[in-house]
Amino acid sequence: MAKRSVATAPSLGPAAVILFGATGDLARRKLLPALFGLWRSRTLAPESRIVGFASEPYDADAYRRLVEDALGQEALGTTEERTLFCRLLTYLGGDFAVPADYARLQADLEGAPPDRLFYLAAPPPTYPAIVERLGAQGLARSVSGAVTRIVIEKPFGSDLPSAQQLNRRLHRHFREEQIFRIDHYLGKETVQNLLVLRFANTLLEPVWNRNYVSQVQITAAETLGVEHRGVYYQGAGALRDMVQNHLLQLLALVAMEPPVAFRADDVRDQKVAVLRSIHPLTPYQVHSQVVRGQYASGIVAGQPVCGYRQEPGVDPASRVETFVAARLFVDNWRWAGVPFLLRTGKRLARRTTEIAVEFQRPPQTLFADTMAQGKLEPNTLVMRIQPQEGIFLRFGAKAPGQDIRVVPVEMDFGYGDSFGATTGGEAYPRLVLDALRGDATLFIRADEAEAAWRLVDSIRAGWDADRGGGREPASYVAGSWGPAAAGRLPGRRHRWRQD
């Protein structure tokens, strides 16, 4: 197949990027490499400044060495490029809660480019204090024609009341157009391609509804366990960690109406409408439509692994879920009655994130033998997000021979085949670039975060009610596809895709 060209971004004006949590894992592994990439491609102007803000008592040179090492470990660029890039860096060792440290930050920013991007990659409990201090110091205001923006990493709150409170606090100091709430799934090329597939083509739209679609399955399966994040995960669980954000975002992109234009508010209006069409679940619905599980020890990729309760930082009697499967309904004109099956978990059999849209079977039984033997598979369109990247359509074809025998075959689009390279799966370069240029299309709006929490809170409330009866997440063997109970969610005539 002929290779297609890959688009590059136009360059930006100089900016000051202030990284809260500048020594943390996210900054070192994702954000600084993303900024380095933008600088290397000359998208980020060479007069830009990056101010690292964290509690460690480094000086600028020590911080530069830390960043050079981090970039080196990711094997990015040449030594000379890394050294040159690190000249953009300065460092402020301080306390996010102490007003005097914001006065120092302000002094530090004297002479830096007036366009500012505050990037909150610090522990989420520090967000309210940071927002408050930035506001009090007058740093949230844009100065003389320049722009000031703030990026906030997930989790955005831990339930609806805390998300509302954080939104109120942000809005006291920043206008909504200045606020960029990240969900890194939206930065994945394959996720953005969902919108292109749906709205740059006419083929699918006529069948993209309850008349033709029998169910939608969204899977985000990981083979990794909680790694070193046991303490965080104890307070989160798979519902807050993956469903509230990544899975519901994927669902919203699949189910949304065409936006008026590809502009931030037009796209987000439609996504919010989808999220609001999924009514909060009653405890009974939670009981029958949602399954939670927790991994026990098992074998993953040929290696024995411990159970969740044995992970560092995890309570040995923990009831936190590492797996969630849910059957949800988008109660609107287009989707009424179509199950949206969501499934995510750690330590599952294979790493895969995909969306499968399954179409209805033909209304008439023409190829009786095949039908009688239950072999006629429904047409399925599978959008593969990662690690394979592409789209395939499964349909029935006649196998060569004297009889009519229908077998499933696939039409396959792979990024590698068509564009000569995979996307690399990196979401951050795109998201950091969009935040710098002020395009909020791939970021979460205040009402969107709240709508997702409303639904997720109803599931948690259902579990809490169940807990009164002593229920726990169902245990599953690490390396399996989750608890057996999840198998009933697709209904009698369907099953989870596992290939």
Residues designated catalytic: 246
> Least distance in Å: CB of 307 to ligand BG6?
17
Instruction: Give 80's strand partners.
Output: none
Buried b / exposed e along 441-467 (16+ C-beta atoms within 10 A):
bbbbbbbbbbbbbbbbbbbbbbbeebe
Q: Which of 84, 71, 119 is nearest to 435 (CA)?
A: 119
Q: Tell me which residues in 301-360 interact with ligand BG6 (CB under 6 A).
A: 353
Q: Are 190 and 389 in contact, with CB atoms under 8 Å apart?
A: yes
The smaller minimum CB distance to ligand BG6, of residues 105 and 431, is found at: 431
Least spacing, CB of residue 447 vs ligand BG6, in Å: 21
Residue closer to ligand BG6 (CB basis): 210 or 497: 497
Given the complex with ligand BG6, which of 50 and 182 has the nearer CB atom?
182
The reply on whether position 115 binds ligand BG6 by CB under 6 A is no
In the structure encoding, which two tokens stand for residue 66, read together? 């830390």
Determine the Cα–Cα distance for residues 176 and 178; give it in Å rounded to an integer.
5
Shortest separation between residue 134's beta carbon and ligand BG6, angstroms:
24
Name which position in 115, 222, 358, 457 contacts ligand BG6 (CB under 6 A).
222
∠209-212-214 over CA atoms, to 5°? 90
Q: How many amino acids of this chain bind ligand BG6 (CB under 6 A)?
A: 3
Of 227-266, binders to ligand BG6 (CB under 6 A) are: 241
Rounded to the nearest 5 degrees, what angle is found at the Cα of 116, between the Cα atoms of 259 and 144?
Answer: 95
Contact 294, 463 (CB under 8 A): no
Mask: binding to ligand BG6, 278-297, rule CB under 6 A, as x and -?
--------------------
Q: Which two tokens stand for residue 27?
A: 């900054």
Q: Which is nearer to ligand BG6, 52 or 225 (CB)?
A: 225
Structure tokens at 47: 């007069």
Binding mask 174-213 for ligand BG6 (x = CB under 6 A): ----------------------------------------
Integer distance in angstroms from the first to the last C-alpha of the chain?
A: 25
d(CA 489, CA 462): 17
Residue 413 burial by Cβ neighbours in a 10 Å radius (0-12, 13-18, 19+): middle
Q: Shortest approach of ligand BG6 to residue 353 CB, angstroms? A: 6
CB of 346 to ligand BG6, least distance (A): 7
Give the torsion through C-alpha atoms of 6, 178, 428, 320, to 10 deg: -140
Give all strands (DSSP E) within 202-309, no chain letters. Answer: 213-221, 290-300, 303-305
Nearer to ligand BG6, 293 or 396 (CB): 293
Instruction: Annotate 369-383 with b (16+ C-beta within 10 A) or e (fewer).
Output: ebeeeeebebbbbbb
Q: What is the spatial distance between Cα 325 and Cα 343, in angstroms, rounded to a whole number?
A: 4
Nearest to ligand BG6 of 193, 277 (CB atom): 193
Pairwise CA distance, residues 302 & 285, whole Å: 38
Q: Which is nearer to ligand BG6, 48 or 386 (CB)?
A: 386
d(CA 82, CA 39): 10
241 vs 457, beta carbon nearer ligand BG6: 241
Q: Are strands 380-386 and 406-414 parallel, antiparallel or unpaired?
A: unpaired
Choose between 222 and 448: whose C-beta lies nearer to ligand BG6.
222
Rg (alpha carbons) of the chain, rounded to whole number? 24
Contact residues for ligand BG6 (CB under 6 A)? 222, 241, 353
